[in-house]
Amino acid sequence: MYATVILDKSIDTPLEYLVPEHLGDKITAGSRVIVPLKGKPVSGTVLIRHNEKIFDSPLPIAELSSESRFFSDDLFRLAEWMSKYYGASLRKTLLCMIPAIVRKKTKTDEELEIEEDEFFLQEKKSLSEEQQKAFDAIIKTLHDGIFAPHLLFGVTGSGKTEIYLQAIQEARNLGKDVILLVPEISLTPQTIERIKSRFSEKIAILHHRLHSKERFATWHKIKEGEIHIVVGARSAIFSPLKNLGLIIVDEEQEGSYKQMEDTPCYHARDIAIVRAKFANATVLLGSATPSIESFYNAQNHKYILHTLSCRPKGAMPPKIRIVDMQSEREKAQGFSLFSIPLLQGIEQRIKKGEQVLLFLNRRGYYSCQKCEHCDEVIRCKNCDITLTFHKKENELSCHLCGFTMSPPPTVCPSCHREAAFKYKGPGTEQVERSLHKIFPEIRTLRMDRDTTKKKESHDVIFKEFRAGKADVLIGTQMIAKGLHFPSVTLVGVISADNGLMVPDFRSHESCFQILTQVAGRSGRSSLEGEVIFQSSFPSHPVIQFAAKEAYKEFFDEELSSREALSFPPFAQFAKLVLSGKNEEKTKAETEKLHKECKQVLPSSCILYPPIPCGHAKINTRYRFQFLIKGPKGTTIASKIAPLLQSRKRPYGIHILFDVDPLNTFF
């Protein structure tokens, strides 16, 4: 008996080994083994067993790392699919499916009890007619034990989470295991609380801030079948559950489901669909603003569509209005952060003891300072972006690499003259300070990356706000999603246009999504909710559709423009990004790879010219990219992957191959 083994380290080509007698049939595809390589023991994964010897005298496998297999059949097939689809080697794909800590330690030498919180168990709610209809269809496929993808399209606050919880209960009653994916654990405390308070059984919460010990212990408990419900962000989709029956992807449109930094650049929502297929499981995607791809699939009957059109009784959809900031500026005779209607709205809420959310997708005080003499802006020395001023710390800082200048310079780095700087691009810190100048008594909380550096800080801020310890919560996209604050009756979007002008084919979609999400935080109880979008382009269709909560109209318009340009979902993009410290060499290498791609790509593909990335330099590394467009499927990956793998890797240059990139610009 022989086995083909793929090693964890360095070599992409699988190697052949002999299966020793005593390990007999314990070794199968997916087993983790220790094998000799150049006299040293190394770890790897068995790909296949076979009877025919290919090489002369293969060495024997030294030992089995663990009695049970790491990769169940469905996970193993998933790895093969991922490797093909994303054009990544099977070695890298398998590695990305096992947490690093589990790979390093192979025996459970440390037993760690996972901390359990105490919760009062909560009753399930009786479902509305719309909810019931969706629920029935979902549990039908769950009972049948067949692969079925569902898309739950429900306006914000319409009771999607309630359906998730009841479907999980149903799966557990059938003895099936469940994965619930959420965009980011620390930003979804209420979903986590709700799920914990519904089930008396143990639930694994896979947090990226888990200590490696906790991660290790949790992974093994899942593997040993002690835990049957897993909640986590993107990589939780690879949880080694044995009897997977249901996968739920909450906020399926979220960008955080996409791996963007490393190969394989997988999308956890798409992986969820494929894993469910291999496991004959039901998969439920939920969203108030489904991605164009998912809604298109529902329209083509690839997904079963369920719609929740209203909030449970008592809660009304909020009234949304657009305030034209051009005319506000004329009235104020200059720049103003807050329009008059927004200020009046805030004042009224404070008087009534209600709460306000203010959203601005930019942190810091000012994001740009220009020299009054030469008009140059101050840039990071490591990156191709401007430095942001943070008033509290009195420093300029780079939001890409963390470089800081403290205190900020008084002499222009460009023209070397003593300079008074002109400031532009207000951020959340400025919103907070300006608000205090206007309303000296106002109580505010701020939530952005600067105020949440500690592990518990998200939780602390959410709890304080919910307990009414502040009138206004100011924040970046951290406050835009999934939160439920019953006393919030006004949501103000400081600049609804942010992001609209990004040169990317998805910028309209992202902008519509964030506006809809943030608007959905208002009016979630019996109190009437209001939303104000401050915009300098009030008649822009995206702002208009978002203000009317007209998802379907937005979708139709967006889809037809995607079709006209043959953009996804009508075609597929892939992106190659090369980065290196030497600008010339990186550029030359990009052009060389571009030429090689031209030779291997079929005529059904379009190769775009090489260009510097939107962020042309990050952390002293220069970045170049080019796009490929082709038919959906594996055409591009099947041509490009062999090219990348056989190619001699140029020294110091990193290449990232991103299939279905979320952004094509940065």
What CA–CA distance (Å, rounded) separates 81 from 86? 8
Residue 447 identity: M
- Tell me the C-alpha distance between 296 and 636, whole Å: 22
Please state the φ and ψ torsions of residue 383, each to the nearest 5 degrees: -130, 165
Q: Which two tokens stand for residue 22?
A: 């005593």
The number of residues that bind ligand ADP (CB under 6 A) is 15
* Residue 618 to residue 614: CA distance in whole angstroms: 10
* Residue 380 near which of ligand ADP, Zn ion, none (CB within 5-8 Å, type-dependent): Zn ion
Q: What are the C-alpha distances in Å from 206 to residues 146, 172, 287, 425?
A: 27, 19, 21, 36
161 contact choice in Zn ion, ligand ADP, none (CB below 5 to 8 Å, kind-dependent): ligand ADP
With CB under 5 A as the contact rule, which of the stretches 69-77, 348-356, 396-404, 535-543 interacts with Zn ion? 396-404
CB 655 within 8 A of CB 106: no
Residues 475-494 that bind ligand ADP (CB under 6 A): 484
For residue 335, what are the contacts with CB-CB under 8 A and spacing of at least 6? 329
Is residue 350 at the binding interface for Zn ion, with CB under 5 A as the rule?
A: no
Q: Which does 529 bind (CB under 5 to 8 A by kind): ligand ADP, Zn ion, none?
A: none
Nearer to ligand ADP, 124 or 449 (CB): 124
Distance CA 593, CA 626 (A): 10
Nearest CA to 367 out of 336, 400, 338 is that of 400
- Of the pair 69, 466, the CB lying nearest ligand ADP is at 466
- Cβ proximity to ligand ADP, 309 vs 394, nearer residue: 309
Question: Would you count residue 156 as binding ligand ADP (CB under 6 A)?
Answer: yes
Minimum separation from the CB atom of position 297 to ligand ADP (A): 20
Instruction: Give yes or no for residue 312 binding ligand ADP (CB under 6 A).
Output: yes
Residue 408: CB minimum distance to Zn ion, A: 15
Beta bridge partners of 533: 322, 493
| Angle (nearest 5°) at CA 81 between 76 and 82 | 95
Q: How far is CA 22 from the centre of its chain?
A: 45
Closest CB 177 distance from Zn ion, rounded Å? 43
Does 382 engage in binding with Zn ion (CB under 5 A)?
yes
Site string for ligand ADP, 124-143 (x = CB under 6 A): -xxxx--x------------
**398 interacts with, out of ligand ADP, Zn ion, none, CB within 5 to 8 A per kind:** Zn ion
- State the binding partner of 382 from ligand ADP, Zn ion, none, CB within 5 to 8 A by kind: Zn ion
Which helix (H) or strand (E) segment holds residue 452: the answer is: none
Cβ distance 356 to 527 under 8 Å?
no
- Residue 162 makes contact with ligand ADP by CB under 6 A: yes
Least distance from C-beta 118 to ligand ADP, angstroms? 21
Residue 131 binding target from Zn ion, ligand ADP, none, CB below 5 to 8 Å by type: ligand ADP
> Of 320, 140, 158, 391, whose CA–CA distance to 246 is shortest?
140
Q: Which residue stretch of 177-185, 312-320, 397-405, 561-569 sits at the interface with Zn ion (rule: CB under 5 A)?
A: 397-405
Answer with the entry of Zn ion, ligand ADP, none that 251 interacts with (C-beta below 5 to 8 A by kind): none
Out of 159, 232, 245, 568, the only residue in the binding site for ligand ADP (CB under 6 A) is 159
What is the smallest separation between the CB atom of 402 and Zn ion, expressed in angstroms?
Answer: 7
Give the residue with the Cβ less far from Zn ion, 403 or 570. Answer: 403
Stretch that binds Zn ion, among 183-191, 212-220, 302-310, 374-382 (CB under 5 A): 374-382
Angle between helices 457-466 and 189-196 (to 10 degrees): 80
30 binds ligand ADP (CB under 6 A): no
Using the structure block, give the residue that is written with the tokens 């009317």.
Answer: 548
> Which C-beta is closer to Zn ion: that of 277 or that of 379?
379
Is residue 438 within 8 Å of 444, Cβ to Cβ?
A: no
Q: Is 119 in the site for Zn ion (CB under 5 A)?
A: no
3-state secondary structure of 85: helix
Distance CA 194, CA 491 (A): 24
Centroid of chain to Cα 628 = 23
Ordered alpha helix ranges (H), 409-550: 428-438, 457-466, 507-519, 541-547
Selected from 5, 167, 383, 435, the binder of Zn ion by CB under 5 A is 383
Instruction: Give residues in contact with Zn ion (CB under 5 A).
Output: 380, 382-383, 398, 400-401, 403
Instruction: Give residues in contact with ligand ADP (CB under 6 A).
Output: 125-128, 131, 154, 156-162, 312, 484
